[in-house]
Amino acid sequence: MRPEAIEAWTRLYAAVGLLAMICAACALLKTVHDIRSGALELPHENWRQRLICLPRIWLRFQLSYLCGFPCIMGIAVLYAH
pLDDT over 90 (residue 29): yes
DSSP per position, 19-81? HHHHHHHHHHHHHHHHHHHTSS----SSHHHHHHHHHHHHHHHHHHHHHHHHHHHHHHHHHH-
Find how far residue 43's CA is from the centre of its chain.
25
Per-residue confidence (pLDDT) for residue 81, from 0 to 100: 75
* pLDDT, tens digit, 9 for 90 and up, residues 9-20: 898 889 888 888
Distance of alpha carbon 50 from alpha carbon 64, whole angstroms: 21
Tell me the pLDDT of the chain averaged across its residues: 85
pLDDT band at 7 (very low <50, low <70, confident <90, very high): very high
Q: Rounded to two decimals, what is the model's pTM? A: 0.75
Query: What residues does each domain of the chain span?
Result: 3-80
Do you know the residue count of the chain? Answer: 81
More confident residue, 20 or 51: 20
